Structure formats: structure tokens, C-alpha cells
Amino acid sequence: MMDSNHNSIARAITKSIGIDCSPQQVFEFLADGANWPLWAIVNIRSIRKADDPEWWDMVTIHGPARLRIRPEAQYGILDHDYHDGQAHWTVPARVVPNGPGTEFVMTFFQPEAFTDEFFDNQIKLVDVELSELKRLLETA
């Protein structure tokens, strides 16, 4: 899966979705790692607090992984770090007011270990998860 572009900037793909509920509701839901298996239905099978209180231990479709969410409510920042056996990702994420609702935005940088094809396939799955996030929060 190694890509030869390890000395250049990483490919980046940004995904967003409009959610018809308040930025505070979206932020509070996403800042709690316990909620992630409810919407990240493609990748996360289960999650629990790790011994290190900053981290969550997960079971994913690719095996064990760790998640650290770094929330800053004042600015709508939900950057998170994701570590699994394949790669380590830092994903910048924002909750942005959009009228009475919210735009949730995430940027994914392609890890060196991922081929373009594998990265593209993983990013397509994000659309499924964002749609589930929207459905959950708008019907809550």
C-alpha cells in the first residue's frame, strides 16, 4: 500500500454536511467519543474510555484503534487523532453555524501508507457516516 509521494504534501479531501440542529447540539454530541459508534457506522464497532483519559479504545473494521478528540467549544473545533495498525491520522474538524443549523466539516489527509485507491474508497465511506450523523441528530 505504500505510495511514493512521501516527500510531498499529502493529498487532502474535505467533507461537510449540513445538519438542521444547533451548533451546540452537534458539538456536544461529537465531543463525546461514546457517541461515535452511533454515527461512524461503517468503521467503528465499539468504543470505551482508555486508561489514558484523553483517549478512547475502539474496535474497528480494520481491528483495534485509538481515538483522541480535542474539543474547543468556543471555536467549534473537534480535531481528532485516529491511530490504527495501518496509519495515524489527524483530522481537523469544525462545527460551523449555518443559519439556525450547522455545517460539520472534516479534512482528511492521505496517510503515506495508503494508496490513492484505498484512500478514495475510505473517503467514500465517510459520506455514509455523515449521512447517518445528520439522520441521528435531525430525528433526535
Per-residue pLDDT at 1: 45
Q: Identify the sign of the CA torsion 59, 37, 97, 105.
A: positive
CB–CB of 47/37 below 8 Å?
Answer: yes
Opening angle at CA 123, ends 96 and 85, nearest 5? 110
**Structural domains in the chain, sorted by start:** 12-32+69-139 (3.30.530.20)
- The set of cell numbers assigned to 74 is 468556543
- Angle at which helices 116-139 and 23-31 pack, to 10 degrees? 120
Q: How far apart are CA 95 and CA 78, in angstroms?
A: 7
More confident site: 48 or 5:
48
Q: pLDDT digits over 16-74, tens only? A: 999 999 999 999 999 999 999 999 999 999 999 999 999 999 999 889 999 999 999 99
